[in-house]
Amino acid sequence: EERYPAPALWPRDPLRKAQAWMLVEIVNAGIQPLQNLMVTNKVKEMGGDGSAFAKHFNERGLEALEAWARPLAGKFLLGDEVTVADVYLPPQLYSARRLGVDLSPFPTLTRVEKACEAIDAFARARPERQPDTEA
């Protein structure tokens, strides 16, 4: 935001900003690292199922994200304006789908994802629209 202040992605209100941090960190620290190839390959190397491991932690993390977001959400995860928390949601749900996670228990998250996808910047950022996407 120092470089591109508009639109602002961090709420100015300290409580709302803390809530945005909380939602971001559920994904950033609680889900995403446990699905990295380095982690899932290590699980495989140790005799486990890396995909099952990643799927499990995706489901657990999305349960937490849904529970915390439900009372805070409006059109988006934290009210009716896009925040940084919304930026983390579509890529995480994309990964969850890739791993075969059933998203039906997460109605708040999938509803907000649809609202995000209606915004051009989100639509252009989808993984399948990137130039390095494999066929």
- pLDDT tens digits, residue range 4-61? 888 899 999 999 999 999 999 999 999 999 999 999 999 999 999 999 999 999 999 9
What's the pLDDT tens digit per position in 82-121?
999 999 999 999 999 999 999 999 999 999 999 999 999 9
- In Å, what is the CA distance from 58 to each residue of 6, 18, 64, 87, 101? 32, 23, 10, 17, 8
